[in-house]
Structure 1
Amino acid sequence: MTSTATLRTVQTRTLDVSYLETGPDDGAPVILLHGFPYDVESYREVAPRLAAEGRRVIVPYLRGHGPTRFLDPETPRSGQQAALGADVVEVMDALDIPRAVLAGYDWGGRAACVAAALQPDRVTGLVSVNGYLIHDIRAAMKPLPPALEAGFWYFFYFLTDRGYAGLTANRRELAEVIWRRNSPEWPFDDATLDRTARSFENPDYVDVVIHSYRHRLGAAPGAPEYEAAEQALAALPAISVPTITLDGMADGNFPATDGSASAPHFSGPREHRQVPHAGHNLPQEAPDAFAAAVRDVAALT
């Protein structure tokens, strides 16, 4: 992130969450949420654009990433969707933010969708890359077309002991393979990857990542404290808050759509946009388009 952002820490029920903050303290709050295998660097150019417009911009390191740490060594290192969504709301509680725009992609988009679906009173607007990202875990074993399955190789790799050992030993290298598949038109360099890869040295990174993929494929139980939320998410609740969804037209794993297939999951105002030449890490690859969506979502009625 740029030098104008301040690194801070706030304590929630479960975590010491490290986050970058920029913009005026009294600005309309926006929380930007990163994915896997990425980190806050995804918003290196988005955050200052929004701050310059008077918004209070908060960019947390998700659980298992960067300086964010669990408070209790006995807490399960869950990466399930309900945990990610709860973390967002708990950060808002800890920072005394009653409502905010939530914007993200991949894991971060999922966290934002979960929070918006389960606690819409806390969300003034949602920006989500690849649409409605709440998992239907009951359908996790339904096959996809082979071309899509090939891009999800690491989902199944992480089901195995070999995958656990591989992620432990090759965090940066695995990320590079995934980045190149996810974003074939993004000409990132070694320095860009290195800045993000530092976040993978978190001591809980491997356990959180492995649990995330095993849980979403129905191969690992969730943490008991999130069971009620997971039951609610199993119904695939509609999102009622104003929403802009984005698809990168050069996303190597998630082909761009017109948004119609996910339309039934949005009961409030919603607009879908396609972004040329952007891959899966859309805010870092197309910061103007992502910042514009955050700016515009408040105007949807």
Structure 2
Amino acid sequence: MATLTSPAPLLYVRTTLLDVAYETHGPLDGEPVILLHGFPYDPRGYDDIAPVLAERGYRVLVPYLRGYGPTRFINTQVMRSGQQAALAKDLLDFMDALSIPQATLAGFDWGGRAACIVAALWPQRVRGLVTGDGYNIQAISQSLKPRPPETEHRLWYQYYFHTQRGVDGLTANRRELCQLLWTLWSPSWAEGPSRYALTAPSFDNPDFVEVVIHSYRHRFMYAPGDPALEYIEQALV
């Protein structure tokens, strides 16, 4: 695979709630492909594939999700929600702001979830869907049902985030905690440390902690969602 050797152009677009920072590759008149990262990652997760797609003539857009990197909320009063509906609405707003009627959506984790929701509820906006970890729309009403122990122990960091200690820990040690997750999830990845060093600054976003904590509490019904997004959550039930 090709490797990105120089930073892609960083652009901004204003949506209804955010100034979204995004990287772009390829011709402006190419078929749009939107690549969406998850937690705890950023656009660096696509440094290998974005140039390949651009070389094939696609217009590739790689946004920083809410709470990551240079993306910022416009209004200080807006709820820093990390729920799945917020991520999907951000994606839809991003496409609207750039006048993209239809795109191929690809993502993993949080980004894959946003892509899946837009594909499910607004299929006319989606030319193709690639999701790295399955069709991962959350069944929130079923989230309190215990899973097998071999699955439960892997969710330790999510349960940690349900506590004030977890909030304090993520606030004080965000880079160390996220690096630990990378190490646990990809223990044999030789490029991990160098790629992490390029990614970690994105976690210094002032809304990172609040968005992350809300994401993991809302999915387990331990935090209410944004009332303005309830119609999306209800459509997914």
Which bracket does the TM-score occupy, shorter chain normalised?
over 0.9
1:70 counterpart letter in structure 2: F
SS state at 2:77 partner: coil
Q: Which moved more, 1:155-164 or 1:183-192?
A: 183-192
Q: Deviations over 1:168-196 (max 9, x none)?
A: 01111111111122223322343321110
Q: What is the distance in 2 between the residues matched to 1:5 and 1:192?
A: 16
RMSD, aligned CA: 1.0
Aligned equivalent of 2:186, options 183, 186, 191: 183
1:2 Cα deviation after fit: 4.3
Aligned equivalent of 1:115, options 101, 118, 142: 118
* Residue 134 of structure 2 is aligned to residue 131 of structure 1: yes
Q: What is the distance in 1 between the residues matched to 2:8 and 2:64?
A: 14
Q: Hey, what does 2:172 align to over in structure 1?
A: 169
Aligned equivalent of 2:202, options 186, 199, 203: 199
Q: Hey, what does 1:227 align to over in structure 2?
A: 230
Q: Deviations over 1:219-270 (max 9, x none)?
A: 0000011000000112xxxxxxxxxxxxxxxxxxxxxxxxxxxxxxxxxxxx
Unaligned runs of 5+ in 2: none
Q: What is the distance in 1 between the residues matched to 2:37 and 2:13?
A: 18
Q: What is the distance in 2 between the residues matched to 1:56 and 1:210?
A: 33
Q: What is the distance in 1 between the residues matched to 2:137 and 2:155?
A: 17
Q: What is the distance in 2 between the residues matched to 1:63 and 1:2?
A: 26
1:109 Cα deviation after fit: 0.4
The number of aligned residues is: 234
SS state at 2:70 partner: coil
Q: Hey, what does 1:281 align to over in structure 2?
A: none
Unaligned runs of 5+ in 1: 235-301
Q: Hey, what does 1:239 align to over in structure 2?
A: none
Q: What is the distance in 1 between the residues matched to 2:30 and 2:5?
A: 19
Q: What is the distance in 2 between the residues matched to 1:34 and 1:54?
A: 22
Q: Hey, what does 2:103 align to over in structure 1?
A: 100
Q: Hey, what does 2:157 align to over in structure 1?
A: 154
SS state at 1:101 partner: strand
Aligned equivalent of 1:140, options 136, 140, 143: 143
Deviating above 3 A after TM superposition, structure 1's stretches of 4 or more consecutive aligned residues are: none
Q: Hey, what does 1:14 align to over in structure 2?
A: 17
SS state at 2:35 partner: strand
- Map 1:1-301 → 2, pairs under 5 A: 2-3=5-6, 5-234=8-237
Structure 1 residues 174 and 4: alpha-carbon distance in aligned structure 2, compared to 1, 3 A threshold:
closer
